[in-house]
Structure 1
Amino acid sequence: MRILAIDYGSKKCGIAVTDPLQLIAQGLETVPTHRLFDWLTAYLEKEEVSDLVVGESTQLDGSDNPIQAEIVGFERKFRKQFPGIVLHRQDEIHTSRRARESMLAMGLKKKDRRDKQRVDRIAAALILQDFMDTRR
């Protein structure tokens, strides 16, 4: 079974997934937030997923970001719609910055590094990798 991760945003969400053995995290897609449940429904019909990891958005001082209320609403709806999938939170602090740094390290051109959808997918993969690292 796979693990999915979401870098939740008010306009779009980066999505990452593991391989079936849960060894490798990779960015999968960026989905408009208003279409997220349609995407999840379609994906979960064809892939077996045991867990969903949602990035926990906090300020540097530890307080909640304004997006946190939307994330809580998403989680409530997700639990109702997909009760068999375990939901987790993972700190997402600095994942967008780390995503841009990794894109630079990969040698991507400036134009490609400005692609916010790519940043969101990589940030989701970093959230997922951080989650997997804490479970080992």
Structure 2
Amino acid sequence: MGCLVGIDFGTKRTGLSCTDPNQMIASGLNNLPTAEVLPFLKEYCQRENVDAFVIGQPLQRDGMPSSVETKIGEFIEALKRSFPNQKIERYDERFTSKIAMQSLIEGGLKKKKRADKGLIDQVSATLILQSFLDYKTNNI
């Protein structure tokens, strides 16, 4: 069994997370400018056995897709071309950025560190992936 990679896609920055090989626990992996994500993932997948990618699905409160969904669709097509053997899953990412910020505050992180939007993206990717794992565990 390989790991899963979580992706919190953004038009400027993208947060990444990964699971352990047993797919039990999600951890932060990296945050990068979005243009660097595919090259990073190509290198990462050469070192690690990756079963699937879990990409956040940004929905509005009413359940409608957010405006960034078009860009995410383009990214997913590029991901499919680069990784034809890996599955691509989607998972609702509503409120993950707010939960990530709250987690950093509760964790005692100084205000200057909390201003690092890349860190928030990485924590958001971890929350998306862990929520996906929890959902899978509870619905099997």
TM norm. shorter chain > 0.5: yes
Q: State whether structure 2 residue 41 is matched by structure 1 residue 40.
A: yes
Separation (CA, whole Å) in 2 of partners of 1:82 and 1:28: 19
Q: State whether structure 2 residue 89 is matched by structure 1 residue 80.
A: no
CA deviations 1:7-26 (Å, max 9, x no partner) are 00000100000111111111
In structure 2, list runs of 5 or more residues that go unmatched.
none
CA deviations 1:24-80 (Å, max 9, x no partner) are 111110011111111111111111100100000111122221110011111112112
Separation (CA, whole Å) in 2 of partners of 1:78 and 1:28: 18
CA RMSD of aligned residues (A): 0.8
Separation (CA, whole Å) in 2 of partners of 1:3 and 1:127: 11
1:133 counterpart residue number = 134
1:93 counterpart residue number = 94
The code of the aligned residue for 1:61 comes to D
The code of the aligned residue for 2:125 comes to A
2:31 counterpart residue number = 30
Separation (CA, whole Å) in 2 of partners of 1:91 and 1:71: 13
**Which secondary structure does the structure 2 equivalent of 1:119 belong to?**
helix
The code of the aligned residue for 1:35 comes to E
Separation (CA, whole Å) in 2 of partners of 1:78 and 1:116: 24
**4+ residue segments displaced more than 4 Å:** none
Identity %: 38
Aligned length: 136
